[in-house]
């Protein structure tokens, strides 16, 4: 399949479950660096004469675009449902900022899918606008022959679960379906979030609530939405209160937003856990996107 964008470079393509698992790179104007993203074209995309639904998948801390496509086994389900799947990277790459590689939960691989407001991060760390505007528009244009712009969903894991929820709540209607594995549900109230928001957004907590799903859902006024939240009960980060799904559920119930919280006994935070339930998440998204 040829794309219509000249600044898009195909890095790799491997056949899997009858479709093509691709990685592309492009120069991002929001992030001012070269970025990779993954794109799975299910077998139904061949020929390019039918518009398919799309799911974005946002990865967690320490990941690149590779973890999800090699470890989750999602391609089987994407092929069954005929869904295109796109996996962005987790932060700007190759941009050298003092302190960007000092910790695994801030800086490189830890962009938190937000737009930084504080120097020196505000120049490049604009993952919110990158994902929801630049990459989103690029996909619509470059793959306009196979992408149905009216049937786009989003999911994610951990930091990426936060990203999926926040992207949906901040951009009403842009994502028709949303789910998350072990998401950071209330970043203003957990150590990971407090560190990241202090670093990227500064001390003004009025800015923090704009990137916190538990806060955002309380004032959500977009189209009807059901949140699907999945959580391993043996997940160390859940036990350590980094994820706080109960806070999000309580906020949803306080404003009448439907939410499903599936607690999975014995499961941890790893891709072993994700791979066990990603089929269920594809079923959930397919039911909405193919309704």
Residues in the chain: 291
Q: Is 20 left (phi over 0), alpha (psi -120 to 50) or beta?
A: beta
- Binding track over 68-107 against a second copy, x by CB under 8 A: --xx-x-xx-------------------------------
Sign, Cα dihedral of 230, 234, 236, 242: positive
Q: Among 1, 5, 10, 16, which residue interacts with a second copy (rule: CB under 8 A)? A: 16
Contacts of 153 (CB under 8 A, 6+ apart): 53, 54, 55, 56, 175, 176, 177, 178, 179, 285, 288, 289
Site string for a second copy, 52-71 (x = CB under 8 A): ------------------xx
- Site for a second copy contains 276 (CB under 8 A): yes
Catalytic residue among 26, 81, 162, 269: 269
Asked if 267 touches a second copy (CB under 8 A), the answer is: yes
Please identify which residue in 17, 171, 189, 202 interacts with a second copy, judged by CB under 8 A.
17
**Binds a second copy (CB under 8 A): choice among 1, 9, 10, 18:** 18
Encoded tokens for 2: 């040829």
Kind and range of the H or E run holding 52: strand 52-58
Give yes or no: 235 in active site.
Answer: yes
DSSP 176-227: SEEEEES----GGGSHHHHHHHHHHH-S-HHHHGGG-HHHHGGG--SS---E
Q: Is residue 268 a contact residue for a second copy (CB under 8 A)?
A: yes
Give catalytic status of residue 158 as yes or no: yes
Q: Count interface residues toward a second copy (CB under 8 A).
A: 22
Interacting residues with a second copy (CB under 8 A): 14-18, 21, 70-71, 73, 75-76, 232, 234, 266-268, 270-273, 275-276
Catalytic residues: 158, 235, 269
């Amino acid at each position: 399949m040829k794309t219509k964008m000249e600044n898009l470079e195909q890095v790799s393509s491997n056949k899997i479950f009858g479709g093509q698992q691709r990685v592309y790179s492009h120069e991002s104007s929001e992030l001012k660096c070269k970025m990779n993203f993954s794109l799975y074209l299910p077998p139904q995309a061949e020929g390019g004469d039918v518009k398919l639904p799309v799911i974005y998948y946002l990865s967690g801390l320490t990941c690149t675009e590779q973890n999800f496509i090699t470890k989750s086994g999602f391609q089987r389900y994407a092929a069954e449902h005929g869904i295109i799947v796109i996996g962005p990277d987790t932060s700007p790459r190759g941009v050298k900022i003092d302190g960007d590689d000092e910790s695994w939960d801030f800086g490189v691989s830890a962009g938190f899918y937000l737009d930084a407001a504080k120097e020196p991060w505000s120049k490049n760390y604009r993952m919110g606008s990158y994902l929801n505007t630049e990459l989103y528009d690029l996909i619509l244009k470059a793959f306009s022959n196979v992408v149905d712009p009216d049937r786009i969903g989003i999911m994610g894991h951990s930091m990426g679960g936060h990203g999926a929820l926040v992207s949906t709540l901040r951009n009403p209607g842009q994502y028709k379906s949303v789910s998350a594995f072990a998401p950071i549900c209330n970043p203003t109230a957990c150590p990971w979030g407090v560190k990241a928001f202090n670093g990227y957004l500064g001390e003004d907590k009025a800015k923090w609530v704009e990137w916190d799903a538990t806060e955002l859902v309380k004032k959500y006024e977009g189209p009807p939405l059901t949140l699907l939240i999945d959580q391993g009960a043996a997940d160390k980060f859940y036990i350590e209160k980094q994820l706080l799904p109960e806070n999000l559920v309580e906020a949803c119930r306080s404003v009448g937003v439907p939410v499903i919280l599936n607690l999975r006994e014995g499961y941890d935070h790893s891709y072993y856990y994700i791979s066990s339930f990603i089929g269920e998440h594809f079923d959930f998204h397919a039911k909405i996107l193919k309704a």
